[in-house]
Amino acid sequence: MGAAVGKPAFGPAVAQKTQAEERLALAEHALLQWTRSPGADSGIWDADASYTNRGLLAAVDEVLLLAAEDPFQLPAAAAGSARRRLDSAVGAAASRMVEEFLRVRVWNASRLRGAVDRLSRDSTGLSLLVFPNACERASSAGSGGEVDASDGSRSRASSSVPDDMAVLLEADVWDGLDLICPAGLSVLHEIALRIVRAGCTDELVRAFANAPCDVLDSFLSILRVECSQRTTEAVIKRWTMVTKIIGKAIVAMRRQLYAQNPGAFDGFRDEYLLAIAENRILILLDFANGFTGITSHEKLVYMLVMYEALTDAAPSLLLLFSGARKELVSERTQGILTKLAGAMRLMVSGVMAKIQGECLFPHTPSAAAGGVHPLARDAMTCVELLARHRTTLDLILAGAGANDRGSLAGVVSDLIAGLERNLQGRLAVACADAGGSRHLFLANNISFVLSRVADADGVASLLGDAWVVRRRSRLKQHVASYAASSWGPVVALLDTPVCGRGKPAKILAEFNAAFTRSRDSEVCREVPDPVLRAVLRHAVSEMVVPAYCAFLQKQPKLGKSVGYTADDLAESLSELFEGETTDVRKI
C-alpha cells in the first residue's frame, strides 16, 4: 500500500533533507558565482591577509559542515543527486582555498627592494672578457678600474659586488631580516584547516611549487624579465649573484619558518618549503643550462664564475632535500656542471689559439717606438683572470683528454710561450730594419710580462722560479743587443783610427752629430717600466761615456773643439726613453 496522500514518504527525514538541500543551494550559489567569474572578486583575503569577502568564506564553511553531517545518505534518487552536488561543492570549496593560498603573501621582501633594484639596474663590476675591445677597455678604465701609471694597464679589479648586495652574501645578515608576514601565516592556518576537512590535501600540496615567494621571486624576476635586453655577460653576472643570494635566502627562510607556529599548516610546512626551494632552484639551473652551449673564449671567465657559484651553492642547497627531490636537483646540477666544464675546455683551447696564432692589431710604423704591445697586455690580463680560478681550472682541465693540458700551470706556460713566439716572429719583424728597435720592443714586452707575473696573485707560482730566471736572462740579452745595435755604431766612430779620416776634431764632430741624431731618436722611444728604463739608460751610458772619455784622453789637444763633457753626455742619456706625448703603444 502506498503512503497516504499529503504525507511525507519518509516522515521527518524528508524535511531534514529538504533543509540540507536549501543550505547546500545557498552555499553552491556563492561558490558558483566565484567559479563562473573568478576575476570578479578579490577573494576571501587580500595579499596582506585582510578579509575582503567573509560571505564566500562562510559558504566554504557551510559546504564543509554539510559534508561532515553527511545528510544525503537515503537511497532515494533525489538524495543521490544532492550527494553529487555536495561532492562537487566540496571540490569547489577546496579549489577556492587553493586559490586563496596562491594569493596570500607569506614572505616579506620589502627589506630587499634596494638590493633588487641595484642588481637589476647597475653594472655588477668591470668587464671580465678575456680579450676586451678598445671601447670596453676605455669603459672599464672610466668606471672604476685602477690604472697602473707605469704602463697604463688596468690593475686587477677589486670586488665587483656592490656593497648593498655584498652584505646579502653574509649569512648573519639574513637573521636580522624579517622575511615572514605573520598575518600571512595565520591565513595558511585557516586554509589548511579547511583543506584537511575537505580531504583535498593532495590538491594543496600540488600547488606548493607555484606558491608566491617574494623573497626569492624578486631576484628571479631580474633573470626572467630585465635580463631579456642585456648582454650574455650581464646575464651571467646577475645569475651568479642571484644564485648566491637565493642560496642564503632559502636557508634563512627555513630557519625563520620553523621558528613560527603556523597552526594547522604545521604538517605541510616541510613540503611547502621544499617545493618552493626546488621550483626556484630548478629555474636557476634552467638558466645555467642555457649557457652550456657557449664556446666563445671571450666568455671564459664569466663561465668560470658561473661554474664556481653553482659548485659553491650546491652542497648547502642539497642539504635542504632528501629522497627523489635531492636526487633530481643533484642530477640536474651535476649534468650542468659537466656541460659547463666541457664548454670551458673548448674555451681554453680558443684562448691559446688566439694568443699563439693571431695578431690582434695591425702592424704600423709606430712599431719603432718599441712599446708594450696590446697583445701582451691582453694575454697577461687573461693569465691574471685565470689565475684567480686555479683550483677550478685544475679540476676542469684534469678531466680533459690525454692530448690536452692537464692543469692551469701548463696552460699559462704554453700561453706565454705562444705569446713570445708571436711577438718574436710576427710582431717583431716589423722592427727588423730599425736597428735596436726590435730588441727594445722585445725587452719592453718581456719586462712587462715579468712585472705582471710578479705582481699578480698566484701567477708566479704557476710558472716557477726557473721560468723567471730564463726570462730575466733573455731580457738582459735584449738590453745588451739594443745598446750594441743602436749605440755601437756611434761609439765605433771614436774607435776608428784617425789616419785616413782627417783630424781628431773632425772625428769628434762626426761623433757629436751621430750622438745627437741617436739621442733625439731614442729619447722619444717608449719604455713604460721605470726599472727597465733605468737599466737601458745605464747600459747605453756604460757603452758611450767611457769610450768618449777615453777618446778625449787620447786627444788632449782638442781643447775648445770639445762641445760636451762626459757629464753632459751622461745627463743627456738620462733623458732617453721618455716616450712621445702621442699614443705610441700600437705597432
Question: What pLDDT does 360 receive?
Answer: 45
Supply the pLDDT for residue 335. Answer: 95
CA distances from 160 to 116, 146, 386, 388 (A): 16, 13, 16, 14
Amino acid at 547: A
**pLDDT tens over the chain, length 587 residues:** 444 433 444 444 444 457 888 888 888 888 877 655 555 556 788 877 888 888 888 989 998 998 888 777 655 555 678 788 888 889 989 998 998 899 888 999 888 887 777 777 765 454 555 555 544 444 443 333 333 333 333 333 334 555 556 667 776 778 788 899 989 999 999 999 999 999 999 999 999 989 999 999 988 888 876 566 667 777 888 888 888 888 888 988 999 999 998 899 999 999 999 999 999 999 999 989 988 888 888 889 889 988 998 998 888 888 888 899 999 999 999 999 999 999 999 999 888 888 877 554 444 434 445 688 888 888 998 899 999 999 999 999 986 654 456 789 999 999 999 888 888 876 556 665 556 888 898 999 999 999 999 888 788 888 889 999 999 999 999 999 999 999 999 999 887 665 555 688 888 888 889 999 999 888 888 898 999 999 999 999 999 999 989 888 888 777 777 777 889 889 999 999 887 643 433 33
- What's residue 140's pLDDT? 43
In a 3-state reduction of DSSP, which class is residue 155? Answer: coil
> For cell 553531517, what's the residue?
69
Cβ neighbours for 55, distance < 8 A, ≥ 6 positions apart? 30
Positive or negative torsion for Cα 281, 283, 286, 288 = negative
Nearest residue to 92 (alpha-carbon basis) of 140, 31, 136: 31
Round the CA-based radius of gyration of the chain to a whole number and report it: 40
Domain boundaries, the chain: 15-103, 110-123+164-175+211-343, 358-575
Give the C-alpha separation, 160 to 385, whole Å: 13
Nearest to 442 by CA among 362, 532, 381: 532
pTM metric for this prediction: 0.74
Closest CA to 419 of 455, 390, 456, 382: 382
Reading the block at residue 521, the C-alpha cell is 731618436
Query: What is the pLDDT at residue 478?
Result: 92
Under a CB-based contact definition with an 8 Å cutoff, are residues 65 and 200 in contact?
Answer: no
Q: Hey, what CATH topology would domain 358-575 get?
A: Monooxygenase (1.20.1280)
Nearest-angstrom CA–CA distance, 233 and 129 = 8
Instruction: Report the amino acid identity of residue 304.
Output: L
Q: Is the distance from CB of 388 to CB of 458 less than 8 angstroms?
A: yes
